[in-house]
Chain A
Amino acid sequence: MSTRGSAPGAAGGGAGRSSGQVELARRLELVASPHLKAPDSTPKIMWTVVVTLIPVVGAAVWNFGPSAILVIGFATLGAMVTERWLGPGGAIRDGSAAITGLLLGLTLPPGLPVWMAFLGGAVGIAFGKLIFGGLGQNVFNPALMGRAFLQAAFPAALTTWPLPTGAELPGGGILAWAALRGDNFALPLLGSRVDAVTGPTPLGLMKFEGLSTPVSDLFMGSIGGSIGETSALLILVGGVYLALKNYLNWRIPVSVFAVVAILSSAIHAVSPAAFPGAPFMLFSGGLMLGAVYMATDMVTSPVTNVGAWIYGAGIGALVVLIRFWGGLPEGVMYAILLMNALVPFINRATQPRVFGTGKAVEASS
């Protein structure tokens, strides 16, 4: 009994075992199957989301002038600097911190001092994501964690809503557009130095004064509010694109919208004066941005499709509950954060039925 003459591993022919003439000596890779790979990758998904947000940012700049880009920019900077500084090496390239910063920026009022935006981005990444172990480990949406922190820390600044298009500013035209919508460059922890024209948001008007806003204004974004909540159309377009690419689970926004529409229609039918109907509820506030871009954050939403329906429906119900009967005019942020906390339980409760088990099989065999 003898074995081959040469060392294992090398593909080169050892004495007495290679019969070939063609040179086949080379290093061979040994990679486990499968060797084909779908073209999607995590950075590609993340950066695609970033790209679909660019039109939304553009609309915000159109509405709110340079203030919008300042706030979004500093929120993104805060998120990315923190990820680079405290996060695992190379994590900045996967694009997830950029999404967090962009989304946070879009939820803030345009007149916010930029240091607050920066701080919000930093806190969102540090305490919303990295403290859990980085990408994929966090329970709560980091952008909303950042916003929740800002809302708790600076409640006044977070509820000061400048009006869009600068229409009521003196001068009008391009100068009015270019004017800052608040004291963006306020020094940290010092008071505001600039007065801007501010006004209530449609939801605030509804809640505190019982006034409704035309849905067409809501749809096109010519209303007061946070930077990104003012353009439902562009958010929907981005969402549809991402859903077609399978980069977000379409069941989540669909179930959010469905539940909000059904519940608010029903309540509106009972008491039309006190509660707005479905169109107003769908297109006002942060619902669009929240349902399409925040609730669908892959890390903090369920992995099962049944779970996605439950999770979306839960968000929708909580939004209606908070908006109608809560102390705040807007409830999307807390609705999403609350449902984020339930995701592990939803996942556990909605495990898929393994092939060849369960009722279907017992019935047929």
Chain B
Amino acid sequence: MFDLLSSFFRGGFRHGVHPPDHKDATGARPIRRMPFPDEIVVPLSQHTGAPSRLLVSNGDRVERGDKIGEAQGYVSVPIHASASGTVVDVGLWPHPNGSWSEAVRIAVDPHSAQIPRPRLVPRWEDLNADQVRAAVQDAGVVGLGGAAFPTHVKLKAPEGTKIELLLVNGAECEPYLTSDHRVMVEHPERVHFGIRIMMQCLEVDRCVIGVEMNKPDAVEALNATIPDDLNVTVLPLRVKYPQGAEKMLIKAATGREVPSGKLPAHAGTVVQNVGSIAAIAEIFETGYPRIERIVTVTGPGIRKPSNLVVPVGTKARDVLEFCGGLTDDAREVLFGGPMMGAPQPDLDAPVLKGTSGIVVLTDAEAKPRITYPCISCGHCLDACPVFLNPTQLGKLAQAGRYQEMMDLSLTDCMVCGSCSYVCPSNIPLSQMFALAKGAVRREQQRAREAQEAERKAAEKEGAAA
């Protein structure tokens, strides 16, 4: 009912949910630097796209900031050592996504000053767009909001599109997380500097920073530091989840809908997370690549909630210990926020470039819930930000009818969890949709491979004849 009322006001996106934001524990805490741990483990696959190619081997000495993995292809970025030390092992290690993946283990040199090798800081004014993109890729910058999509790819308008607006994502709609919030409050001029570089690179003359209204200090700090010659507007947004999803943010800021299956560029927009923007600024301020990131460590199960600068590759265990350890009733450790974050089976999983927070939940939040039958209340339809019919999709998913789910636009589901959040019967809708999407993907992969094999066989036959 309130959604109907609010849709009369301009701005915002329709549907979505209002979880409690739980940001009080860390929202006002300044970013602190965490000491280097004894050992870091840097996975070669930290971004969307091809994993990096290994450049080091056992026993190599590496300095902080040295490249240890090279980008493989355009949609890929290099990986850098986040601490000086010795490579002690290259092998499989638990990855925060639940798999084991190839990672470089570095024993951190306790006597090192941990200063990267001296390097030339590129003068961005002298670089053309291609050179800026190359510099951004070389620094290993990825989207820091969570998806870790290589940033340089987004610095170029795809074929056949025209970018009119740079949209900076400071919504940070996931409950508990405050890392973007603190960047905006503590380094607003760095955000603006990053925006300046991006605007030139994209050749756009307009930029909007979307910030949810539960961060008034961030709005204020950004507004106070806008350079006179930069066309930047800070847009306060009504608090609603999932406002930080690209498509929702574009809808909220411009009123445009990104066509289904298309990119934000098809709505004339590029969306970039504030953290990534600040990371771009850092390349041209210090020359340092992406070797650390700001992580919010919070939740009712952690003793000392903090916003920390953590070297990429630091194990969750070390981060949690630095924050005073877990409380006695802590039961679940998440990488990311509580709505979309991934539970960790193993505290040796390292912090990645895309790890925005570590949230520790207690028995109260993590206890399994009783599932009841679907009563067709329709609350999930009113919650789904992309206007799917989770009621029907859920019934199809339970029956394993994935193809019919595809006909009902399953691909548009971004697994934001809004449907599961509102479901009074505790049906794990978004989890079932994630499973269905995976199953469909594997099925398509198999079909492609079968087709390929057939084609090859036919070719061989043709050659033989």
Contacts and interface: CB of A to CB of B under 8 A. Distances in A.
Interface in A299-314: 299-305, 308
Contacts of B385: 355
Interface string A84-96: 0000000000101
A190 interface: no
Contact of A365 (B266, B386, B426): B266
Contacts of A356: 247, 257-262, 386, 412
A214 interface: no
Contact of A355 (B260, B392, B420): B260
B17 A35 contact: no
Interface stretch (A38-46, A147-155, A228-236): A38-46
B375 interface: yes
Interface stretch (A129-137, A176-184, A192-200, A323-331): A129-137
Interface stretch (B124-132, B203-211, B336-344, B449-457): B336-344
A304 B325 contact: no
B340 to A, nearest CB: 5
B425 interface: yes
Contact of A94 (B340, B369, B372): B372
A28 B333 contact: yes
A15 interface: no
A273 interface: no
A243 interface: yes
A17 B37 CA distance: 12
B326 interface: yes
A354 B386 contact: yes
Contact of B378 (A17, A22, A298, A365): A298
Q: What's the dominant secondary structure at chain A's contact region?
A: loop
Interface residues of B, number: 90
Given A29-B332, A36-B339, A352 B321 contact: no
A365 B259 CA distance: 8
Contacts of A353: 387
Interface string A335-365: 0000000000001000111111100110011
Contacts of B122: none
A10 B347 CA distance: 9
A307 to B, nearest CB: 9
A34 B421 contact: yes
B424 interface: yes
Interface in B403-445: 408-409, 412, 415, 417-418, 420-422, 424-426, 428, 430-431, 434
Given A33-B340, A34-B417, A361-B257, A19 B326 contact: no
Contacts of B256: 364-365
B321 to A, nearest CB: 5
A301 B381 CA distance: 14
B20 interface: yes
A354 B414 CA distance: 13
Contacts of A18: 317, 348
B386 A9 contact: no
Given A305-B382, A357-B260, A365-B267, A135 B372 contact: yes
Contact of A29 (B38, B343, B431): B343
B379 interface: yes
A3 B93 contact: yes
B320 interface: yes
Contact of B257 (A32, A351, A364): A364
A136 B376 contact: yes
Given A298-B377, A354-B388, A355-B412, A35 B260 contact: no
Given A33-B334, A303-B377, 16 more contacts: A8-B345, A11-B347, A24-B326, A32-B430, A34-B19, A35-B334, A35-B338, A35-B359, A36-B339, A38-B17, A45-B424, A249-B378, A303-B378, A304-B378, A354-B412, A360-B257
Interface of A: 1-4, 8-11, 13, 17-24, 26-38, 40-45, 94, 96, 134-137, 243-244, 246, 249-250, 298-305, 308, 347, 351-357, 360-361, 364-365
Interface of B: 1, 17, 19-20, 37-39, 89-94, 100, 175, 247, 251, 256-262, 266-267, 315, 317-318, 320-321, 325-326, 330-334, 338-348, 359, 361, 365-369, 372-379, 381-382, 384-389, 391-392, 408-409, 412, 415, 417-418, 420-422, 424-426, 428, 430-431, 434
Across the A-B interface, give the 5 residue pairs with the lowest CB-CB distance, nearest first.
Answer: A34-B417, A136-B373, A303-B378, A356-B260, A355-B386
22 contacts: A3-B100, A19-B317, A32-B343, A33-B338, A33-B340, A36-B175, A40-B379, A41-B372, A298-B375, A298-B376, A302-B378, A303-B381, A305-B382, A352-B384, A354-B386, A355-B257, A355-B260, A356-B257, A356-B260, A357-B409, A361-B260, A364-B257
